[in-house]
Amino acid sequence: MAKVNRQFRLTARPVGEIKESDFSYKEEEIPTIGDGEMFVRNLYLSLDPTNRLWMSDQDQYMPPVELGAVMRGIAIAVVEESKSPQYKKGDFIWGLLGWQDYALLTGDDFQNVIPLDSSVLPDNKLTLYLGPMGMTGWTAYLGLLNIGKPQPGETVFVSGAAGSVGSMVGQIAKIKGCRVVGTAGSESKCLWLKEELGFDEAINYKNYKPGLELEEAIAKVCPNGIDVYFDNVGGSILDAVLTQVNLHARIPLCGLMSIYNAKGPVPGPYNYSQIMMKRVQVQGFIISDYFMQWSEAMTAIAQWIKEGKIKYSEETVDGLENAPKALIQLFKGTSKGKVFVKISEEP
Amino acid sequence: MAKVNRQFRLTARPVGEIKESDFSYKEEEIPTIGDGEMFVRNLYLSLDPTNRLWMSDQDQYMPPVELGAVMRGIAIAVVEESKSPQYKKGDFIWGLLGWQDYALLTGDDFQNVIPLDSSVLPDNKLTLYLGPMGMTGWTAYLGLLNIGKPQPGETVFVSGAAGSVGSMVGQIAKIKGCRVVGTAGSESKCLWLKEELGFDEAINYKNYKPGLELEEAIAKVCPNGIDVYFDNVGGSILDAVLTQVNLHARIPLCGLMSIYNAKGPVPGPYNYSQIMMKRVQVQGFIISDYFMQWSEAMTAIAQWIKEGKIKYSEETVDGLENAPKALIQLFKGTSKGKVFVKISEEP
């Protein structure tokens, strides 16, 4: 087999914002596969804020990507050749397959992939497995319901609301009978949240100074306070939300995108004491904490998409060669819903 | 009735540390009581870090004490005269009775007192109802067990460990089969924790610079990490603990004594992101959240004291006139266990 495998490897740990030079491009020949091994072709590569964490060497929920290693990434792939009893040529899989055209799976690699069942797939779109039916959808569903425990009539607030996770959180909270308010970084995103996704209110946080101004803007659209805050960003929005939380509010802590690019230590919320005063629960989580409930999430979300209760937005970047640029762009906050790179054509 | 009621009223909201001039001394005549009312004589007045919060007008878990009002305080009292069907002369009660010799209870006041049952009292000491058998004991018991959920063999870390709540937390965690480590502000307190109360380790945090030095000191005595952090103080100890927490650690957030005297906004923990990375649960609580479990806590703690499994320390300040000074002293961190003011003799 003389195919060339294009790869991006991590060359430098980012300082502040990600730079293209943090990656290096390389071409490798694909080795032949041995017994129990499998060779897959990547179709779509997911871009996620957490990629920034993996590139750093800060204490995190997985080992950092080693310098010189292929950049870690979630992808959907098709099996091209298999000497594993578990998979056959033509099967679709999902997993940590890396920023590359092809992946050779050996030994423990199989623990990080799962087969995709196209029979449950609405709209016949494989890419749903990166968005609403994938890790971001499960994250929204399981974090919101297990930790947030939203009750009908409660106010659910979500930051990064136009993102892949946030947009799902808001729609699921609406299905559960809540008042839903989100923050996003542009007028067009806010319009999309309200007019397409059914959010009750959306705030363009860039219109308000952190502190009192932002607090007042939030108070205005949350007249009954905030019962659940699904936090994707941390920072000044978290601080403002803490001034508006109700007694016994729940904060599923999903992400801290506002500080991933920080160059040094970042102070935690100045209103941390409100966690005590209002007896708030903050619960950090990672989707893998809820492995056992994946199929529950999957079934529910598929059904909601089929019924038109959940809408989604996808942004496709064409070509693996554009992955570094696209990840940098993700942190500019200009995209709506799920962003992924198309690496090769579906069979 | 021409008795004189000595009182301390709140005159000024403290800026930074409490000053004696934040209180004003006043003498009042006691009014005669009407139907359904009750007149009690305060015996012991509890001093608690939370008094500092009540004096401020920051957003908190109860309304702040109004300027000019009698300072709020928990006390044990004996009924001197009763026209209420619930109580008779000679009964002992516990409640928010204020910084004064006598309290007249009318209407809603009765919601803030409970009768004391001396039949469950170990050592025949009424003052236990301010310490291990009182709010601080219940806070330790219910916060640790409901939120911390310590499992045998786990490491429980407690700050303010020589305080009235902290010293109970550590001993209850030992009873539950945990390794227990505490922080306190002097060598003699640390000795007391280890030699009298059975803590496995105790750290005098004043020996270490906040940051790396403190983190390393904690890491050394917590070789298996920290599973439960019972937080009474916040600040730099919280920050250091967050670098040592295990996956799925629990943080009952009971107090933030290190910042009550702050003059302006205080940054939250710089290591807040570890709450996400390690999927930590932070749960603020106030003892009144667990009203329904008071008798469970009371029964368990009384039994442990009788069996000698729980020890306690009391510091008595003599005379209501010394209450302001004693509260200021409480924040110097020189006392062990429960501090209270003796106002009058038991009958």
Note the ipTM here: 0.90
Query: What's the pLDDT at B262?
Result: 84
pLDDT tens digit sequence for A260-312 = 888 888 999 999 999 999 999 999 999 888 888 988 998 999 999 999 999 99
Give the integer Cα–Cα distance in Å for B347 and B345: 6
Per CB-CB distance under 8 Å, the chain A contacts of B281 are 281-284
pLDDT digits (tens, 9 = 90+) for A193-216: 999 999 999 999 999 999 999 999
Searching chain B, which residue's CA lies closest to the CA of residue A255? B276
Q: Do A286 and B279 touch (CB under 8 A)?
A: yes
- CB within 8 Å: A60 and B277: yes
Are the Cβ atoms of B268 and A265 closer than 8 angstroms?
no
Is B308 part of the contact surface with chain A (CB cutoff 8 Å)? Answer: no
**pLDDT tens column, B151-206:** 999 999 999 999 999 999 999 999 999 999 999 999 999 999 999 999 999 999 99
Most distant pair of Cα atoms in chain B: their distance: 64
- Rounded Cα distance, B107 and A24, in Å: 75
Tell me the domains of chain B and their CATH numbers: 4-131+313-342 (3.90.180.10), 135-288 (3.40.50.720)
A141-165 tens-digit pLDDT: 999 999 999 999 999 999 999 999 9
Pairing assessment for the beta strands B314-318 and B338-342 based on DSSP bridges: parallel
Q: Which residues of B touch A289 (CB under 8 A)?
A: 248, 279
Residue B259: exposure state from Cβ atoms within 10 A (0-12, 13-18, ≥19)? middle
Tell me which chain B residue has its CA closest to the CA of residue A143: B279
Which of the pair, B22 or B115, is modelled with greater confidence? B22
CA atoms within 13 A on the CB side of A170: 31
Whose structure tokens read 């933030």? B256
Contact between A206 and A185 under an 8 Å Cβ cutoff? The reply is yes
Confidence class for position B231, pLDDT limits 50, 70, 90? very high
Measure in Å the smallest separation between the Cα of B314 and chain A Cα atoms: 27
pTM of the model: 0.92
pLDDT digits (tens, 9 = 90+) for A51-104: 999 999 988 889 999 999 999 999 999 999 999 999 999 999 999 999 999 999
Instruction: Tell the burial category of B199 from Cβ atoms under 10 Å away from its Cβ (0-12, 13-18, 19+).
Output: buried
Beta strands across the sheet bearing A245-253:
A201-204, A179-184, A155-158, A226-230, A245-253, A281-284, B281-284, B245-253, B226-230, B155-158, B179-184, B201-204
B146 contact A CB<8A = no
pLDDT at site B202: 98
When pLDDT is cut at 50, 70 and 90, the band that residue B91 belongs to is very high
What does the alpha-carbon distance between residue A75 and residue A342 come to, in Å, rounded to a whole number? 10
pLDDT the model gives residue A117: 78
Out of A60, A267, A282, name the one closest to residue B275 (CB).
A282
pLDDT reported for residue A123: 75
Q: Could you write out the DSSP letters of every residue in A77-138?
A: EEEEEE-STT--TT-EEEEE--SBSEEEE-GGGGGGEEE--GGG-GGG-GGGGTTTTSHHHH
Flag whether residue A188 sits within 8 Å of chain B, measured between CB atoms: no
The two tokens of residue A212 are 């009192």
Amino acid A125: pLDDT:
87
Q: Does B289 touch chain A (CB under 8 A)?
A: yes
According to the model, what pLDDT value does residue B209 have? 97
Which pLDDT band, with edges at 50, 70 and 90, does B291 fall under?
confident
Contact B104/A at CB under 8 A:
no
Query: Using the 8-state DSSP alphabet, how is residue B287 labeled?
Result: G
Please write the tens of the pLDDT for every residue from A210-264. Answer: 999 999 999 999 999 999 999 999 999 999 999 999 999 999 999 998 888 888 8
**pLDDT above 80 for B114:** yes
pLDDT for res B1 = 43
Provide the pLDDT confidence category of residue A1 given band limits of 50, 70 and 90: very low
Q: To 10 degrees, the CA torsion angle through B124, B130, B133, B135?
A: 170
Across the A:B interface, residue pairs with CB atoms under 8 Å apart total 105
Look up residue B231 and give its two tokens: 């937080």
Residue of B245, B272, B279, B281 for testing the chain A interface, max A β-carbons within 10 Å: B272
What average pLDDT is seen over chain A?
94
Are the Cβ atoms of A268 and B268 closer than 8 angstroms?
yes
Nearest to A256 among B276, B278, B283 (CB): B276
Which of A215, A205, A250, A156 has the alpha carbon at shortest distance from B265? A215
Is B251 a residue whose pLDDT tops 60?
yes
Q: Is the pLDDT of residue B314 over 50?
A: yes
Residue with token string 């529950």: A296
- Residue-by-residue DSSP string for B157-195: EESSTTBHHHHHHHHHHHHTT-EEEEEESSHHHHHIIII
